[in-house]
Structure 1
Amino acid sequence: MNLDIKNKTAVITGADSGIGLETAIILAKAGVKTVLADLEEDSLKKASEKLLSAVPEAEVTWLTVDLTDNQSVLNLAKQVKEKYGPTHILINSAGARGAAGDFLTLTDEDWQQTIDVDLMGAVRLCRAFIPHLQENNWGRVVLVSSENAYQPYEEESPYNACKAGIINLSKCLSRSYSKEGLLFNCVSPAFIETPMTDAMMEDLAKERGTDKEEAIKWFLKNKRPNLAVGRRGKPVEVANVIAFLSSGLSSFVNGSNYRIDGGAVENAF
């Protein structure tokens, strides 16, 4: 399918693995100049090699960024503009589960650390890159939220609140900038095969004295009984939807949130 975004520039955070990297591969196949952004140089180098293995003709750059540091985000925007000109597509798939546990055990610091990555990271990115999109009079921004925004889990209150905030932020920005040709949307995945959920399952396996695969089975049965397809999602299954929302095909989609959750959210709305 022609996504109608050839030669545009996309910045993708959380791009060293999982959803971010799979999205970058799809966009690179569509002829997009891709900028992979994340914290660690080594993991970004490996991600770049994987992308080029899948798409040898791709134009790809990797740059480190710390989303908790506003100057680091501004530096990312500056470096991208110097290399490619103003960005057309911004995808924020970076995030962290953050502090988890009984609500009364979580401190201000626990909350602030999660907010700083999962909510303020998106705020900083949008603030830095919206001027790029405005220069082009065309833009796509896709923010990754979570099923937790709709169906909060009691042990993850900071993460739940931040992901709900992401959807609200996207809707707010969609109302502010759509007349300039900028479209903002969200996706809300559930239990995807990513490093974050891998770490969760490894911790659960240790708790239960079992292996990771058995921990996943237990988790699906006891913690995610509404996940109708009965398995973890694959990063590419989320990336396919993000790629559509990043494309020229999504020209009448704005301020929306797409649940990619295998039926995990129990309600219809």
Structure 2
Amino acid sequence: MKIELNGRKAIVTGSTAGIGRAIAEGLARAGAAVIVNGRTQERVDAALREIRAILPNAELTGVAADVATPEGCADLFAQAPVADILVNNAGTARLNDFFAQDDSEWLDLFQLNVMSGVRTARYYVPNMVKQGWGRVVFLSSESGLNIPKEMIDYGVTKTAVLAVSRGLAELVAGTGVTINAVLPGPTNSEILSNWMKATAQEQGIRQEQAEQQFLKTSRPTSLISRFATTNEVANMVVYACSEQASATTGAALRVDGGVLRSIA
């Protein structure tokens, strides 16, 4: 299967590193004109340099905007008023003690992990419906179904993302616009990789050993027995954004390495 997205404009929020960066590269490789987004101009410029070094003919634009805020989203919309493909990847996770958290920490995470996608979808999807074609992908997580006790707030936001994705797919049914969620499992993204690196240094072991330790203690149901790569997650996202995925909508597409013990 050859995926071609020539003539399509794609926006990937939070795409300066990790899974988002891999998605931006994957969409550009398929021929889409890609808008790379991050909170700072420095990070955006660095990501653009990296992708251009690999794909010198890619059509890339950078927009520095913090999509966790209404003002940041407004900046994104002003600089990128239309999109055929929207990948809501912006998000974060942090280990925490549920009983020690205050309301502001919950609300800050909700703004980034959930409301950023709500705002961008609310802005871009109506025009997709009007033109009769569009692709929207929300990055959820296996943690949205398998809530981790060490970051309950993160699990809650990723469950909310699943609800937004499915509800929006119902709302635009029959329009030619597809809305899906992708659920990564443990992945060598910037955030988790940094956690594993810090754990390895703290315990005086290799990062690969820290990753195996994490899988055994926190995700023992993994069937691949390793972390996924960011490119493996990006491959699923690029497919969901393709012409070939026209009958895939309202779905929760798992790239979790089999962590979730479910056949559906």
Q: Determine the C-alpha separation between the residues in 1 that align with 2:41 and 2:213.
A: 35
Q: Which moved more, 1:235-244 or 1:135-144?
A: 135-144
List per-residue Cα deviations over 1:82-141 (Å, max 9, x = no partner).
xxxx2100001111004x333222211121111111111111111122233234221100
Q: Quick one: distance in 2 between partners of 1:121 and 1:168? A: 14
Pair 1:21 & 2:16 matched: no
**What residue number does 1:91 align with?**
87
Question: Per the alignment, do residues 160 and 56 of structure 1 end up closer, same or farther by CA in structure 2, a change over 3 Å counting?
Answer: same
**1:202 correspondence with 2:197:** yes
Match of 2:262 among 246, 251, 267: 267
What is the CA distance between 1:149 and its match in structure 2?
1.0
- The number of residue pairs the alignment matches comes to 264
Q: 1:178-200: CA deviations, max 9, x gaps? A: 33221100100011111110222
Instruction: Quote the offset at 1:2 in angstroms.
Output: 3.0
Cα pair 1:74 1:128 within 8 Å, conserved: no
1:161 and 1:36 map into 2 onto residues whose CA distance is 27
Aligned to 2:224: 229
Q: 1:78 to 1:137 in 2, by over 3 A?
A: farther
Q: Specify which of 141, 144, 163 is matched with residue 139 of structure 2.
A: 144
Deviation at 1:209, TM superposition (A): 5.0
Would the alpha carbon gap of residues 182 and 104 (structure 1) be closer, same or farther in structure 2, given more than 3 Å must change?
same
Q: What one-letter code is carried by the residue in structure 2 that aligns with 1:113?
A: D
- TM-score normalized by the length of structure 2: 0.94
The match for 1:7 is 7
Give the match's secondary structure for 2:174.
helix
118-127 vs 142-151, greater mean Cα deviation:
118-127
Kept after mapping to 2: 8 A contact 1:4/1:249: no
Distance 1:118 1:38 in 2: 14
Alignment check: 8 A CA contact 1:65 1:76 kept: yes
Aligned residues of 1:24 and 1:36 also touching (Cα < 8 A): yes
Partners of 1:88 and 1:136 within 8 A in 2? no
Q: Taking structure 1 as the reference length, what is the TM-score of the superposition?
A: 0.92
**Which runs of no fewer than 5 residues in structure 1 stay unpaired?**
none
CA distance, structure 2, for counterparts of residue 151 and residue 130 of structure 1: 29
* 1:67 counterpart = 2:63: no
Residue 216 of structure 1: SS of its match in structure 2? helix
- 1:198-253 CA distances to partner (integer Å, 9 max, x unpaired)? 22223433554545333222112212211111111000101111001001111111
- 1:2-54 Cα offsets, whole Å, 9 max, x none, are 32421110001121112112122221122111100111212211211121122
Aligned to 1:134: 129
Runs of 4+ in 1 over 6 A off after TM superposition: none
SS at match of 2:63: strand
What is the CA–CA distance in structure 2 between the aligned matches of 1:111 and 1:68, rounded to whole Å?
13
Q: Matched residues in 2 for 1:71 and 1:130: separation? A: 19
235, 244, 248: which one aligns with 1:240: 235
Aligned equivalent of 1:175: 170
Letter in 2 for 1:89: I
Task: Tell me the distance in 2 between the aligned counterparts of 1:135 and 1:74.
Answer: 21
Residues of 1 paired with 2:36 and 2:196: CA distance?
A: 26
Root mean square deviation, CA, Å:
1.6
Aligned counterparts of 1:268 and 1:208: Cα–Cα separation in 2 = 37
- Shift of the alpha carbon at 1:157? 0.6
How much identity, in percent, do the aligned residues show? 28
Deviations, residues 131-189 of structure 1 (Å, cap 9, x unaligned): 33234221100000001011111111100000011011000000111332211001000
- Contact between 2:12 and 2:24, CA under 8 Å: does it hold in 1? yes
For 1:105 and 1:75, how far apart are their aligned partners in 2? 34
